[in-house]
Structure 1
């Protein structure tokens, strides 16, 4: 009985490459694709989690894509800090509003 079981097991694991590899030869590349995919997934997830915690309330995403950090708000902050004067602020604001993509 044990000899029959052993012979059946060897016959089941024999593939076109002979005894040894069999179907496991295909599983090695699949395993590496899964491992690399898992690493990429974890990196993307950690970056999104970092951006969600670092963002101000009501915004999400990387700093250059947040809704709160528009060009007009940046210009208004510079004007409020005193980096630019009123004439320069109004000129730049006019250029920004003239070049709006949905205007």
Structure 2
């Protein structure tokens, strides 16, 4: 008895090509996607997402806001900070 498994390969090959093309597309997207805003830290190459306090500090340091506005905003942020969960 001779069994010809050619039909199995005919069914398997399109699936193999779909998987290979899918992997290639995934790799290209993964390598070219801009990672900004992920906030997963510098060890993964992604940018750090600023906290409201850091934004306020940066704006005060650059002269966008004065000391009174800075202090008032700091108090507001401290009063509305969510507690520990």
Alignment RMSD, CA only? 3.0
Residue of structure 1 in register with 2:55 after alignment: 74
Q: How many residues align?
A: 77
Higher helix fraction (1 or 2)? 1
* In structure 2, distance between residues paired with 1:62 and 1:102: 27
Give structure 1 stretches of 5+ with no counterpart.
Answer: 1-7, 15-21, 52-57
Q: Secondary structure at the match of 2:74?
A: helix
- The aligned runs of 1:8-87 (5 Å cut-off) are 8=2, 11-14=3-6, 22-23=7-8, 24-47=10-33, 59=42, 60=44, 62-63=46-47, 66=48, 69-87=50-68
Give structure 2 stretches of 5+ with no counterpart.
Answer: none
Give the TM-score, by structure 1 length.
0.52
Residue of structure 1 in register with 2:76 after alignment: 95
